[in-house]
Amino acid sequence: MLGWHVTLWTAPLAGALVAGLGCRRLAPAAAHGVTIAAVGVSCLLSWWAVWDTWVAGRVFHHPLYTWAASDGLVLRIGLLVDRLSALMAATVTGVSLLVHVYSIGYMRGDPGYNRFFAYIAFFTWAMLALVLADGLLLLFVGWEGVGLASYLLIGFWFTRPRAGAAALKAFLLNRVGDLGMVLGIAVLAAAAGALDYPSLFAAAERLGGTPAVGGLSAATVGCALFLFGVAAKSAQMPLHAWLPDSMEGPTPISALIHAATMVTAGVYLVARLAPLFEQAPAVRTALLLIGALTALATGLLGLVERDIKRVIAFSTLSQLGYMVAALGASAYAAAIFHLFTHAFFKALLFLAAGSVILAMHHAQDLAAMGGLRRRLPLTYWTALAGVAALMGVPGTSGYFSKEAILAAVGGAGGAAGGFAAACLQLGVAVTALYSLRLFLLVFHGAPRSPQAAAATEPGAVVTVPLLVLAVPSLFVGASTVAPIGAGLSALWALPAPEGMHGAAAALRHGLATPAPWTMLAAAVAAFYLWGRRPGPAAFERARWLAWLRAGYGFDAFYERLVPRAVLACGRGLARRLEAAVIDETLVHGTARLVLWLGAGLRRWHAGRLDAYALGTIVGVLLLWLWS
């Protein structure tokens, strides 16, 4: 099995190297052929790993080699294939394979075609390294790998200034999280003497009681530092501002980054380290509050956004908030289940948006669309499936996973649990509003531009992945809710969350809660606002919503105040540190010290023999007394 699992991990890297190193010589068909074949091999092996771990019940731990050993700390590289990592690998490679196929049509004719396929294959390899790692060392390699790949992909069209700025913004904000990751890994390495998961989990209770900093346990300090990494990589407030701007990259990248890969890395990290986070209740409370606030606040931004891809990006932010809130409520299985279902319907929505953008000759403004239902029938029906799953229409995949999260957070208790539950319930209404706003503005009403009036359905290479993704978006939740609930909960020795005991039980339980009826009321409101006269509603331009259109001012803060603060700090250091310490003390002070010493020593070199003789006698006496 070792060879199969290593091939599962490394096949996309081999495809990336072939396409990347030969990008100037390979024909486009060869470039996409080799990368699709490599990712296809990984996809097949990952689903074989799902059968091995979920059906046969086997767990594989393959230590590959020892990277370093020092003072009792042994750093090893290895692979761990269990139910969690196998499910994640299957999700990543499945979505990545469809994105690769879709990209053939979307990127056709682009001068960087071969380079694009090399980048996305490398991205897939880095994500597989992250989810298949047997410890924090290889996980961090994959963590940084997806960060590098996302920088390259967001800024793929590097001749566009906005693309370069978006890539740099994503890179810099993620470095904040990476600093927390490095410090957290160092804390756990010092406290546990190891970084592999089995050793960390065996020492979890000890780490929960071992003081590290300020009387806090090593588990609390380490998990709190990891919280920075989670907030940055999974785009939680206040480190979320990079994700909407990442829409400057090609649409297939939006699907790959936002569906099942980079942005879910933080969710996977917390779920993988669940035994440690269970020893840090204060950190879990922070996760609960941050996730709930992100779910509601970023969903509201989708109500005033006019770029089709950015609306879906804000929905990603909101759904990630649901996952993080579930982690804070110790409902790890519910969070991973929503990650799993979200991967399908969010990839479907992004690829459907890409189909619309192609048909609109790369126009992305919702105000210029409308009437595309008849022009793009396949895109219309598949997008409807994605919107229904995103809203959580009963019976769709999104319904089952979201219901499990709402039940878990609702039972969290305490002031934090009550606040989070209220935010998520309001988020249900907001999700229905922005989802139907997007759908109605794009597909209903009369065409509002010449591009919309002349739009035609793209070719099969674009529409077939939409049809493939529509099926799991609708049905995978009902068929997997009970197995995933039982299988993942057993992995952490926790009871399955409420709402994950079977499809029928989840339907009965959910229909007795306010969520479906809140969603229905919001849907009626959405049809009233955007369905009667399809087009942007008057309230979207209201002055009192300027704070929403400005994204709560986070962009202004990061782009204006932070650089100004850094420049002011630099000028202050230049005046005080450089002028007073470096120039005055070190440079001029050294020169004055040399002159002073020279003036003093000059007195002893006057050329008088009696002074030299006296000095010799005094020196001999001192040596004699010392001895």
Q: Summarize pLDDT for 75-110 with one digit per residue, the tens.
A: 888 999 999 999 999 999 998 998 888 888 888 888
Query: What b/e sequence results for 45-59 when a residue is b if at least 16 CB atoms lie within 10 Å of its CB, and e otherwise?
Result: bbebbbebbbeeeee
Q: Which amino acid is at 236?
A: Q
Residue where the block lists tokens 């003081």: 211
Crossing angle (nearest 10°) for helices 397-410 and 514-526: 120
pLDDT for residue 604: 64
CA 372 to chain CA mean position, Å: 32
Q: What is the CA radius of gyration of the chain?
A: 29
The two three-digit tokens of residue 436, written as one number: 């139907």
Inform me whether the pLDDT recorded for 260 exceeds 60.
Answer: no
Residue-wise DSSP of 57-89: ---EEEEEEEEEEETTEEEEEEEEESHHHHHHH
Residue 290 has pLDDT above 90, yes or no: yes
Strand 73-81 and strand 60-70: pairing?
Answer: antiparallel
Nearest by Cα to 346 from 123, 91, 38: 91
Which one-letter amino acid corresponds to residue 325? A
The predicted model gives 602-621 an average pLDDT of: 76
| Preceding peptide of 252 cis, ω within 30° | no
The helix/strand/coil state of 454 is: coil
Segment holding 327, helix H or strand E: helix 308-328
Of 222-231, 437-446, 585-594, the least confident: 585-594
Mean pLDDT over each residue of the chain, to the nearest integer: 86
Domain boundaries, the chain: 273-539, 558-626
Write down the pLDDT at residue 333: 92
Residue 462 vs residues 342, 360, 401: alpha-carbon distances, Å: 20, 14, 28
Inform me whether the pLDDT recorded for 448 exceeds 80: yes
Instruction: Say which DSSP state 541 is in.
Output: G
φ/ψ bin of 376: left (φ > 0), alpha (ψ from -120 to 50), beta (otherwise): beta
Averaged pLDDT for residues 328-335: 91
Q: How far apart are CA 498 and CA 411, in angstroms?
A: 9
Is pLDDT larger for residue 256 or for residue 478? 478
Determine the pLDDT at residue 498: 79
Q: Tell me the per-residue pLDDT of 136-150, one tens digit each, with 9 for 90 and over.
A: 999 999 999 988 888
What is the pLDDT, as a whole number, of residue 10?
Answer: 92
Distance in angstroms (rounded) separating the CA atoms of residues 336 and 357: 31
Phi, psi angle pair for 363, to nearest 5°: -80, 140
Report how far residue 138's alpha carbon sits from residue 5's, in angstroms, rounded to the nearest whole number.
15
Backbone φ and ψ for 60, nearest 5 degrees, come out as -120, 125
Instruction: State the DSSP string of 174-230.
Output: HHHHHHHHHHHHHHHHHHHS--BHHHHHHTHHHHHHSEEETTEEHHHHHHHHHHHHH
- Give the distance, in angstroms, between the CA of residue 232 and the centroid of all CA atoms in the same chain: 7
pLDDT band at 536 (very low <50, low <70, confident <90, very high): low
- Please report, for residues 44, 547, 610, 623, the alpha-carbon distance to residue 562 in angstroms, rounded to integers and kept in the order given: 47, 19, 70, 63
pLDDT digits over 360-418, tens only? 888 888 888 888 888 889 999 999 999 999 998 998 999 999 999 998 898 887 888 89
Say what the pLDDT of residue 535 is.
Answer: 64
What is the total residue count of the chain?
627
Percentage of residues in the chain with pLDDT exceeding 70? Answer: 95
Enumerate the β-bridge partners of residue 307. Answer: 365
Q: Tokens for 490, please give them.
A: 């057993």
